[in-house]
A and B are shown apart, each in its own frame.
Chain A
Amino acid sequence: MKRTAFLIIGATAAFAAMATAEITADDVVFDEYGSVAMSLTGVAGDAANGRDLFKNRKLGNCLACHKNTDLSDQAFQGEVGPSLDGVGDRWNEEELRGIVSNPKNTFEDTIMPAFYRTSGFFRTLEKFEGKSILSAQDVEDVIAYLQTLTE
């Protein structure tokens, strides 16, 4: 009993620390090339979770548009965007953070959605209003995963 209580308090404290360190979507600072220098949470990304987010249809669903040989067990891989094989060699962490958070700063008029953006949309379904597709930590996890995709 005591141990559980301690764990819960510990977890809550960690969340509280995270919440204060987390940068809200409206406050993310992009440089002129679309890169984001500062971690969105201050917590290192978890590449294994990022891999799950990448294929999950309700979360990242990156496979909808991008092929990725590392996930070749997944049957349907999209062709709308470039293959992400070796993407960790092409872009550094800050660039990847910018591309995933809001790729419109890197690629003008791209079809790729902004995964960490909460405002500036038109006619968003009520249940998604004011929300980003991924959370700040999800984005950190996805970019940790993308950095493992090297050739």
Chain B
Amino acid sequence: MIGSNLLRVASIATIASLAFGTITANAQSLIINEEELMITQAPAAAHLENLDEVFSGWIYRTKETQSLQLDDFDNPGMIFVDQALDEWAKVDGSAGKSCAACHTGGPAEFAGLRTVLPRWDDEAGAIQSMEDYINECRTERMQADAWKWSGTSMTAMTALISLESRGMPVNVVIDGPASDAWEQGKDIYYTRVGQLDMSCANCHENNYDTMIRADHLSQGQTNGFPVYRLKNAKLNSTHARFKGCMKNIRATPYKEGSDEFRALELYVASRGNGLSVEGASVRN
């Protein structure tokens, strides 16, 4: 299908994909800093009815884009992680506190957190994303202003916290009190919207690994978020990506931080259960 890319497939990946019986495009192993192996291909979770396997979006990027994620020195997203580290130590708000004042163990306290977000939160009585928890600390414990959902400070902080889970498999919970939101997210995923009348599934489930004009379609997984995109040269949140995809099909997007996008975020994350957290990843 994408002949020239297939020729570049590394032997390990070829054997793996033959074993699974599917074709993957530019596959090679994603090993970061020559030591951290990411799971970019995994058997689909039981709740995924129409897929046998799931793939990280990294697999479908060009060699050039892929290589930017192989070393943190080459990864432009890491600049924002550094900025977030400064922010972490900075006092803000009328309580006179920084993140570090409460989280004395440093960002490492949050190892594993990215893998289970978004999740049902009893106290909030709702699905909460990482952005919600960060803003809860800012407004309630620091008495500081909430950050904009996809603002620079927010996406940088989510990158810093996600980095502590890098390599760990996504493992969001979809049953119990989360099940209503999960069903709602699933509904949104399969509903055709906009003048182009398409659903997320039309592109990311039925047509992944094909070219749509200049774009190589992935499964639209969220394990790489926040994502540094070469296109806008910044970190992008999952909700911003959902918004972009909806606008492309000429649909009115839901609002960033809305219940609809939290539900969709939970559902899409669950489709990637088993794939490594990559944030901050690099995409085009």
**In-complex Cβ contact of B198 among A57, A77, A78, A111 (8 A):** A111
Which residues of chain A come closer than 8 Å to B19, judged between CB atoms? none
B47 within 8 A of A: no
Q: Are A124 and B252 in contact (CB under 8 A)?
A: yes
Whole-angstrom CA separation of A64 from B249 in the bound complex? 13
Whole-angstrom CA separation of A105 from B217 in the bound complex? 26
Q: Are A79 and B206 in contact (CB under 8 A)?
A: no
What are the interface flags for B250-283 relative to A under an 8 Å C-beta threshold, 1 for contact and 0 otherwise? 1110000000000000000000000000000000
Chain A: which residue is nearest B196 at the CB level? A113
**In-complex Cβ contact of B213 among A64, A122, A128 (8 A):** A64
Whole-angstrom CA separation of A84 from B22 in the bound complex? 26
Which residues of chain A come closer than 8 Å to B206, judged between CB atoms? 111
Q: Are B213 and A77 in contact (CB under 8 A)?
A: yes
A63 within 8 A of B: yes
B244 within 8 A of A: no
B96 within 8 A of A: no
A6 within 8 A of B: no
**In-complex Cβ contact of A121 among B197, B207, B214 (8 A):** B197
B247 within 8 A of A: yes
* CB of B29 to closest CB in A, whole Å: 26
Whole-angstrom CA separation of A63 from B212 in the bound complex? 8
A133 within 8 A of B: yes
Q: Are B195 and A122 in contact (CB under 8 A)?
A: no
Which residues of chain B come closer than 8 Å to A75, judged between CB atoms? 214
* CB of A41 to closest CB in B, whole Å: 21
Q: Are A133 and B195 in contact (CB under 8 A)?
A: yes
Total residues of chain A contacting the partner, CB 8 A? 23
Q: Are A78 and B211 in contact (CB under 8 A)?
A: yes
A contact patch SS: loop
Which residues of chain B come closer than 8 Å to A64, judged between CB atoms? 212-213
A23 within 8 A of B: no
Q: Are A113 and B193 in contact (CB under 8 A)?
A: no
Q: Assuming A79-B1, A113-B197, is B192 touching A122 (CB within 8 A)?
A: yes
B28 within 8 A of A: no
Q: Please count the residue pairs between chain A and chain B whose beta carbons lie under 8 angstroms apart in the complex.
A: 69
Q: Which of A109-129 contact B (CB under 8 A)?
A: 111, 113-114, 121-126, 128
* CB of B16 to closest CB in A, whole Å: 23
Chain B: which residue is nearest A75 at the CB level? B214
Chain B: which residue is nearest A64 at the CB level? B213
Which residues of chain A come closer than 8 Å to B197, judged between CB atoms? 113-114, 121
* CB of A63 to closest CB in B, whole Å: 6
Which residues of chain B come closer than 8 Å to A24, judged between CB atoms? none
A8 within 8 A of B: no
Whole-angstrom CA separation of A131 from B217 in the bound complex? 28
Q: Which of B214-246 contact A (CB under 8 A)?
A: 214, 217, 246
Whole-angstrom CA separation of A126 from B202 in the bound complex? 22
A43 within 8 A of B: no
B191 within 8 A of A: yes
Q: Are A122 and B191 in contact (CB under 8 A)?
A: yes
Q: Assuming A79-B1, A111-B202, is B194 touching A125 (CB within 8 A)?
A: yes
Whole-angstrom CA separation of A111 from B202 in the bound complex? 6
Q: Are A124 and B195 in contact (CB under 8 A)?
A: yes
Whole-angstrom CA separation of A65 from B215 in the bound complex? 11
B75 within 8 A of A: no
Among B197, B210, B217, residue most surrounded by chain A Cβ atoms (within 10 Å) = B197
Which residues of chain B come closer than 8 Å to A79, judged between CB atoms? 1, 210-212
Instruction: Give A residues with C-beta under 8 Å from B.
Output: 57, 61, 63-65, 75-80, 111, 113-114, 121-126, 128, 131, 133
Interface contacts beyond A122-B191, A125-B251, A128-B195: sample of 15 additional A-B pairs, CB < 8 Å, sorted by A: A64-B213, A75-B214, A77-B213, A78-B210, A79-B1, A79-B212, A80-B211, A80-B212, A121-B194, A121-B195, A123-B251, A123-B252, A124-B195, A124-B250, A128-B250
Q: What would 17 A/B residue contacts be, using CB atoms closer than 8 Å?
A: A78-B210, A78-B212, A79-B210, A80-B211, A111-B202, A111-B206, A113-B195, A113-B197, A113-B198, A121-B193, A124-B193, A125-B195, A125-B247, A125-B251, A125-B252, A128-B195, A128-B250
